[in-house]
Amino acid sequence: MKDKMKTVAFSNLIASLVFLGAGAWAYSQTLSFRTVKGSYVQAATFPQIMLLGMMGFAGVLLVQSAWKLTRFGFKANDWAYEKAASLNFVKDRGVLFALVTMVLCAAFVAWFRTLGYVLASFLLCFAVMVLIGKRNLVQMLLISALVPLCMWLLFYLLLKVNIPMGPLTFVRDFVDDIL
């Protein structure tokens, strides 16, 4: 049983339960949508049909996966018995670092207005390079600084899109003065 729990079939079983749960919750939300008298299709109708479709196929996946996990449903060389991807960030450093990257991205969003694009991107770019094992400090600093700066210049000068600069607003004034 322990090995079966590491298969794609088992991960599909868990995923189908997640989709069923999420679908049921979302469906319960649609019941509180307001209605309009005289309208043949209410605001809730379309999402309800879609949610029923999603839950229906999640149910099919659940039955399919459960069947494949029994000894009657076993078929050699079926891809459902391949090793499933893991989310165990304690045992798998890859997952842990992927999660750290997500946290870094979330921090980027949170600090975007305060730090501005160039500074926030410098930190994000540098941090991701450190995470994935780049160790050439000069290259890391140059890439982290120049790529966001060039992108900002491209958007500001060519595409006329004003991107927040945070404490580096003086760079914008400097560019304006030059031009």
Partner 1 sequence: MDFQLLLSSYASVFTNLQVVLMTLLGAFGGILLGAIPGMTATMGVALLVPFSFGMDLIPAVGLLLGIYCGGMYGGSISAILIHTPGTPSAAATLIDGYPMTQKGQGGYALSVAMFSSFCGGIIGALIMTFASPVIARAAMNFNSGEMFMLAVFGLSVIIAISGRSVVKGLISGFLGMTLCTVGLDPTNGLPRFITRSQTGLYEGFAFIPALIGMFAVAEVIAGVERIVRGTERHAVSHEKITRVLPDGGTIGRIWPNILSGALIGTFVGAIPGAGGDIAVFVSYGANKSFSRQPEKWGTGIPNGVAATESANNGCSGGAMIPLLALGVPGDAVTAVLLGAFIMKGIQPGPMMYVSELPTVYGVFAALMLANLAMLLVGCAGVRFFAKIVSVEKTVLYPIILVVSLLGAFSINKNVFDLGVCVGFGVFGWLMNKYEFPLSPILLTLILGPMCEQNFVRYMNLNHGDFTRIFHSPIAMTFLGLAVLSILYSIWNQGRINRLQAAEAERA
Subset of 9-38 contacting partner 1 (CB under 8 A): 11-12, 15, 19, 26, 29-30, 33-34, 36
Min dist CB 50 to partner 1, Å, is 4
Considering only 93, 170, 178, 179, the residue that binds partner 1 (CB under 8 A) is 93
Q: Rg of the chain's alpha carbons, rounded to an integer?
A: 25
Question: Which of these, 43, 53, 2, 62, lies nearest to 23 by C-alpha position?
Answer: 53
Whole-angstrom distance, CA of residue 72 vs CA of residue 133 = 46
Binding mask 39-68 for partner 1 (x = CB under 8 A): xxx-xx-xx--xx-xx--xx-xx--x----
| Least distance to partner 1, CB of residue 1, Å | 20
Count the residues in the chain. Answer: 179
* φ and ψ at residue 100, rounded to 5 degrees: -65, -40
d(CA 154, CA 118): 12
Restricted to residues 149-168, the positions that interact with partner 1 (CB under 8 A) are: 151-152, 154-155, 158-163
**Separation between Cα atoms, residue 159 and residue 161, nearest integer Å:** 6
**Which residue's CB is nearer to partner 1, number 25 or number 174?**
25
Q: How far is the CB of 66 from partner 1 (least distance, A)?
A: 13
- 3 state SS of 82: coil
Asked if residues 150 and 163 have their Cβ atoms less than 8 Å apart, the reply is no
As measured in angstroms, the least distance from the Cβ of 142 to partner 1 is 10
Least Cβ distance, residue 172 to partner 1 (angstroms) = 15
Out of 17, 101, 153, 171, name the contact with partner 1 by CB under 8 A.
101
Site string (109-148) toward partner 1, x via CB under 8 A: x--xx---x---x--xxx-xx-xxxx----x---xx--xx
**Residue 105 CB contacts under 8 Å (≥ 6 apart), including other chains:** 124
